[in-house]
Amino acid sequence: MPARNAKSLEAQRSRAAEEWAALQNNSRPVIYVGAGSCGLAAGAEEVIEAMESYLAKNKIEADLLRVGCIGPCYLEPLVDIQMPGRPRISYSNNTPALIQDVLESFFEKGEVYQRRLVGHLGADGGDGLPRFFDHPMLARQVRIVLRNCGIIDPENTGHYLARDGYRAFEKCLTLPWTEVLDIVKKSGLRGRGGAGFPTWRKWQICRENESDTRYMICNADEGDPGAFMNRSLIEGDPHAVLEGLLIAGYTIGARQGTIYIRAEYPLAIERLRRALADMRELGLLGERILGSDFSFDIKIKEGAGAFVCGEETALIAGIEGRRGMPRTRPPFPAQEGLWGKPTIINNVETLATLPHIIRHGAEWFSQYGTETSKGTKTFSLVGKVRRTGLIEVPLGMTLRSVIYDVGGGLVKEFKAVQTGGPSGGCLSEEFLDLPIDYESLTAAGSIMGSGGLIVVDRNTCIVDTAKYFLNFTQAESCGKCVPCRVGTRHLVHILERISQGKGELDDLAKLEHLARSIKGGSLCGLGQTAPNPVLSTIRYFRDEFLAHIKDKRCPAAVCRDLVVYRIIKDKCTGCQRCVQVCPTGAISGPRSEAHNLDESKCIKCRSCYEICRFDAIAGDAIVIESRA
């Protein structure tokens, strides 16, 4: 029976709570598979197939739940097995063959499989097994927004309800909007989309604008390369975002909410659609929600994949059916936004944080974080760290802590961490003890951004990194304003010259000058922040730039025009593999004797390097070195 008022929702919730409890104290085996995009990319689908055929073959009755990303993406596909009366035990890096062993162990031998066991997710005790959340990657995290991710079945609204879902929204309905605003204000929540504008301030401006209509928009156009926090969150716990959207809509007095989400996130869109259908069923959308005076509806707008559409005014243009091009501000969207009406655009994570703030109170939330940056923040920790994945840490944690404690450090020597995606900057080792908060990062010449953390080691060329990000922004510039459209192109051009060894001494000054013009002259945030990767890399890695320019040398041995390939004679066994793959015949030599590499013929295609590394008998006999 669909819930239509608060009472029936409560009834629905208690039913859901019973089902959830039954799932915890299961009478038959339950298998959880990490089937977010990360799990699927790692091969979860094949693992599921293997498990299903195993279960069918052995006529075992078990529940198989697809859950979202629980965090340590490098361990995916993760499979949790929960036998009746046993805790939920998690296994990492599964393959169809390996999962066979795990299942056999549980179902045929009745034993807990010990290899690749990450930990149990049950209450304390757990047969003496380690706790999942004591895993070094997770131990220092504070999971508020990600509370449900990987735990519940995101397509089962009951699971969300059972875990206090929509209680915060119900509480809001009993409060005047001013009070909700007050709670958010006291919590110190700032926009998680990047700029860190206080959420309550934006809301207040919007609400205080005289208007018959206001709009609420969820910005799920996550476009930074290497960032996947929002996608994972929606895939793992869509209702948290939707509940936040309801709360925000209630507070600003909107009747219509729109989720602007990239079309490249099909799974997230699918989960949202299901969740919206369930909400409608529960009476959480539509006219007079739960018998209150609040009417609200949510629709999904799929973006066509333009980075600039993450910018508020471009996003609005996209929803209105126009080309996603930013316009000048003021007026700000909170004054004149969608269809000319006051509009609030909040990031996915900002919205997903709201239910927790409302439920637990502003003080509880503000106990996390620093003086100016409250709460926790999700990051996608990627790059050359040992443990990559989706993390949530209290603001104020140092970069070192995140990279070394959570991320497990690097295999090779640390060089830089890139925060904030293409709008952010590269920070060097001296900033490792910098606390992660809005002000510190900005002062260091980077930004918090939406939460991408890309760690690079000494094998990464910093000029190449800057070039990569600039290439991205210049290609994603909407083309409207001159500094961004043309300026970034020249930046790329100069960087390309430098990486080709054609740089000149005044190039750095040129880059800095042009970068400042672009920052000062561009229309929207994309252009205004686009030069950040260049500026920060020049600021902290000037030597490396100079090595490229003056010495025509790439210390990381990345820039193709500045490296040489060399065969280490002592290591080479003369297996001829490299001779076979070399397209230009640059490598020669009889079998079983160290080969020769003719530099004049070498086109640096990397084929020999790869084959020597992985397939050849010797391995690593071919090295790429910076030109002397």
Partner 1 sequence: MSPKPVRAREARTIIIEIDHRPVSCPEGVSVLRAAELGGIAIPSLCSHKDLSAFGGCRLCMVEIEGMRGYPLACSTIVAEGMKVLTESAALRDMRREILELILSEHPSSCLICDEQEECRQSMVTIRKAGVSTGCRYCPNDGQCELQAVVERLGVRDIHYPVYYRGYEAEHDDPFFDRDYNICILCGRCVRMCQEVRGASVLAFKFRGPKTQVGPAFGRSHLESGCEFCGACVSVCPTGTLADKVSKWDGRPDGFKISTCPFCGLGCQIELHHKNGRLSRVNPGLDPEINNGQLCVRGRFCLPETTHHHQRAKKPGLRRGRYFREVTWAEALDEVSSRLKGLGPKDILMVVSSDLTNESLFAAQKFMRTCLKSNSIDSTARWTLPGGVGLWASLFSLPISIKAISSAEAIIAVGLDSRFSFSVAGVEVRRALKEGSTLVTIDSNESNLARYTGHWLRPAPEKQGAAFKLLTERLLASGQKKGSSADLKKTGLDEEGLEKAVDALWPARDLAVVVGPAAFAQDGGQDIARALVKLSERPNTTILPLYQGANTRGALELGVFGEFLPGLARAKEPGLRLADVLEGKAKPKVIYLVGEVPFFKRPDCEFVISQDIYHPPFEVDAFLPASSFAEAEGTLTNVEGRVQELVRVEDLPDSASNGFSRPDWFIFGEISKKLSCPGLEYADSKQVLQEISRTVAGYPAAPDRRPRRFKPAENIPWDKPPASPSPAAEDGFRLVVEPGGFRHRGIDLSSVVEGLSELRLEEAFRLHPEDMQRLGLQNGDIIKVGLDGWAVTAPVRADADCFAGAVYIHRPLAYGGIGHRRGLEPLYRLSGDSLRVKIARGEQPAGQSCVLPGPGKTGS
Binding site for partner 1 (CB under 8 A): 306, 308, 323, 325, 327-328, 474-483, 485-490, 493, 510, 513-514, 517, 520-523
Task: Give the shortest CB-539-to-partner 1 separation in angstroms.
Answer: 21
Task: Give the shortest CB-37-to-partner 1 separation in angstroms.
Answer: 25
Task: Give the shortest CB-411-to-partner 1 separation in angstroms.
Answer: 35
E strand or H helix at 260: strand 256-262
Q: Which is nearer to partner 1, 69 or 508 (CB)?
A: 508
Task: Give the shortest CB-221-to-partner 1 separation in angstroms.
Answer: 15
Task: Give the shortest CB-449-to-partner 1 separation in angstroms.
Answer: 21
Name the amino acid, one letter, at 102. V
Residue among 454, 517, 509 at smallest CA distance from 482: 517
Q: Which is nearer to partner 1, 338 or 557 (CB)?
A: 338
Beta-strand relationship, 88-91 and 79-82: antiparallel
- 510 is written with which tokens? 């040129």
Spatial separation of the C-alpha atoms in residues 387 and 140, rounded to whole Å: 13
Task: Give the shortest CB-447-to-partner 1 separation in angstroms.
Answer: 17
Spatial separation of the C-alpha atoms in residues 457 and 417, rounded to whole Å: 9
Q: Which is nearer to partner 1, 346 or 488 (CB)?
A: 488
Task: Give the shortest CB-523-to-partner 1 separation in angstroms.
Answer: 5
Name the amino acid, one letter, at 469. F
Task: Give the shortest CB-303-to-partner 1 separation in angstroms.
Answer: 13
Q: Which is nearer to partner 1, 236 or 487 (CB)?
A: 487
Other beta carbons less than 10 A from residue 457's beta carbon: 16
Burial 399-433 (b: 16+ CB within 10 A, else e): bbbbbbbbbbbbeeebbbbbbbbbbbbbbbeebbe
Give the C-alpha distances (Å, rounded to integers) separating 285 from 1, 242, 277: 16, 10, 9
Spatial separation of the C-alpha atoms in residues 451 and 569, rounded to whole Å: 45
Spatial separation of the C-alpha atoms in residues 129 and 56, rounded to whole Å: 29
Q: Which is nearer to partner 1, 194 or 487 (CB)?
A: 487
Q: Which is nearer to partner 1, 306 or 466 (CB)?
A: 306
Q: Which is nearer to partner 1, 145 or 491 (CB)?
A: 491
Q: Which is nearer to partner 1, 287 or 506 (CB)?
A: 506
Spatial separation of the C-alpha atoms in residues 510 and 487, rounded to whole Å: 11
Q: Which is nearer to partner 1, 493 or 550 (CB)?
A: 493
Is 516 strand, coil or helix?
helix
Is the CB of residue 474 less than 8 Å from the CB of residue 488?
A: yes
- 65 is written with which tokens? 């739940």
Task: Give the shortest CB-178-to-partner 1 separation in angstroms.
Answer: 29
- What secondary structure, in 3-state letters, does 561-600 show? HHEEEEECCCCCCCCCHHHHHCCCCCEECCCCCCCEECCC
Q: Which is nearer to partner 1, 128 or 330 (CB)?
A: 330
Spatial separation of the C-alpha atoms in residues 309 and 326, rounded to whole Å: 8
Q: Which residues, other chains included, contact 529 with Cβ-Cβ below 8 Å and sequence gap of 6+? A: 420, 422, 423, 424, 447, 519
Q: Which is nearer to partner 1, 460 or 477 (CB)?
A: 477
Q: Which is nearer to partner 1, 342 or 483 (CB)?
A: 483
Task: Give the shortest CB-478-to-partner 1 separation in angstroms.
Answer: 6
Q: Which residues, other chains included, contact 18 with Cβ-Cβ below 8 Å and sequence gap of 6+? A: none
φ, ψ for residue 476 (rounded to 5)?
-95, 0
Task: Give the shortest CB-572-to-partner 1 separation in angstroms.
Answer: 44
Beta-strand relationship, 117-120 and 215-220: unpaired
Task: Give the shortest CB-505-to-partner 1 separation in angstroms.
Answer: 15
- CA 202 from chain center: how many Å? 25
